[in-house]
């Protein structure tokens, strides 16, 4: 079911995004995403892992490589046109998943927390569909060091400004070539992210940070449903 409020803004950018997230387009960044995702998710012995906001399915191989059976959902039909070559997919809104309570052994949501206006609502919905003891991996841009408030032109000297507390959607970015400058992004401060997970009933078991030059550009956690 797709909520009337959600719009598939990636439809017009899907071919570009598919290339951006390819091994050639994404390079070290994609390798870092996959290594961090694998570290947090752990082995799956064939069970289903729901890839929420799966986009073009860029991480299906990493999830499958751990032994999980990935299944993707996303709002954008054009993103899913690419993803369908990589995993089974369905059109769905991450805040209204067409799945029964407690029906999914694992889920991931990668690089999408800044694409939804209310990420805590996504966390609540994922927690709803997770089985007791189910694993959820959040992986996204680092809330403290990536955003409109962060000048990363020299990553080793990342400069943060007072816009850290501004949660609004913006196209402001330190570069002109990324997702943020093209599609805009919301900001989810660290406390909102962790409080959202806790409020959803996810117990954080592990966290991870990764990035170049000692200033991480990725932050993730493994949450387990009580």
Ligand X SMILES: C[S@@+](CC[C@H](N)C(=O)[O-])C[C@H]1O[C@@H](n2cnc3c(N)ncnc32)[C@H](O)[C@@H]1O
The reply to whether 188 sits near ligand X by the rule CB under 6 A is no
The reply to whether 75 sits near ligand X by the rule CB under 6 A is yes
Half-sphere exposure of 188 (CA within 13 A, CB side): 26
The reply to whether 74 sits near ligand X by the rule CB under 6 A is yes
Of how many residues is the chain composed?
A: 226
What is the nearest approach in angstroms of ligand X to the Cβ of residue 176? 17
What is the nearest approach in angstroms of ligand X to the Cβ of residue 134? 19
What is the nearest approach in angstroms of ligand X to the Cβ of residue 106? 15
Calpha distance 148→220 (Å, rounded): 19
Residues 154-183 that bind ligand X (CB under 6 A): 179
Handedness of CA 99, 183, 200, 219 (dihedral sign): positive
The reply to whether 58 sits near ligand X by the rule CB under 6 A is yes
- Among the listed ranges 108-116, 167-175, 193-201, 213-221, the one in contact with ligand X (CB under 6 A) is 108-116
The reply to whether 79 sits near ligand X by the rule CB under 6 A is yes
Q: Which of 182, 167, 73, 158 is nearest to 118 (CA)?
A: 167
In the bound state with ligand X, the residue whose beta carbon lies nearer, of 74 and 217, is 74
DSSP 8-state assignment for residue 93: B
Half-sphere exposure of 38 (CA within 13 A, CB side): 15
What is the nearest approach in angstroms of ligand X to the Cβ of residue 77? 9
Calpha distance 8→93 (Å, rounded): 10
The reply to whether 125 sits near ligand X by the rule CB under 6 A is no
The reply to whether 112 sits near ligand X by the rule CB under 6 A is yes
209: enclosing H helix or E strand: strand 202-210
Closest CB to ligand X: residue number: 55
- By rule CB under 6 A, what string of x and - marks binding of each residue 191-210 to ligand X? --------------------
Handedness of CA 205, 63, 6, 145 (dihedral sign): positive
**Phi then psi dihedrals of residue 208, to 5 deg:** -150, 145
Calpha distance 138→52 (Å, rounded): 10
Q: Which of 27, 32, 63 is nearest to 48 (CA)?
A: 63
The reply to whether 146 sits near ligand X by the rule CB under 6 A is no
- By rule CB under 6 A, what string of x and - marks binding of each residue 4-33 to ligand X? --x-x-x----------x------------
Residues lying near ligand X in the complex (CB under 6 A): 6, 8, 10, 21, 53-55, 58-59, 74-76, 79, 93-95, 110-112, 115-116, 179
């Amino acid at each position: 079911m797709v909520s009337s409020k959600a719009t598939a803004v990636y439809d017009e950018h899907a071919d570009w995004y598919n290339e951006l997230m390819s091994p050639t387009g994404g390079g070290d960044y994609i390798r870092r995403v996959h290594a961090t995702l694998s570290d947090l998710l752990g082995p799956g012995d064939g069970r289903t892992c729901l890839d929420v906001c799966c986009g073009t399915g860029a991480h299906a191989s990493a999830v499958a490589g751990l032994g999980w059976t990935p299944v993707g959902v996303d709002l954008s039909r054009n993103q899913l046109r690419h993803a369908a070559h990589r995993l089974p997919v369905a059109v769905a809104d991450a805040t209204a998943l067409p799945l029964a309570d407690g029906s999914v052994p694992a889920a991931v949501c990668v690089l999408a927390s800044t694409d939804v206006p209310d990420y805590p609502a996504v966390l609540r919905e994922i927690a709803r569909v997770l089985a007791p003891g189910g694993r959820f991996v959040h992986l996204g841009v680092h809330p403290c060091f990536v955003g409109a408030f962060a000048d990363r032109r020299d990553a080793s000297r990342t400069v943060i400004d007072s816009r850290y507390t501004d949660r609004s959607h913006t196209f402001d970015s330190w570069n002109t070539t990324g997702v943020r400058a093209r599609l805009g992004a919301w900001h989810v401060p660290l406390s909102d992210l962790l409080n959202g997970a806790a409020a959803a009933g996810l117990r954080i078991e592990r966290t991870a940070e990764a990035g170049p030059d000692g200033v991480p550009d990725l932050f993730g956690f493994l949450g387990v449903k009580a």
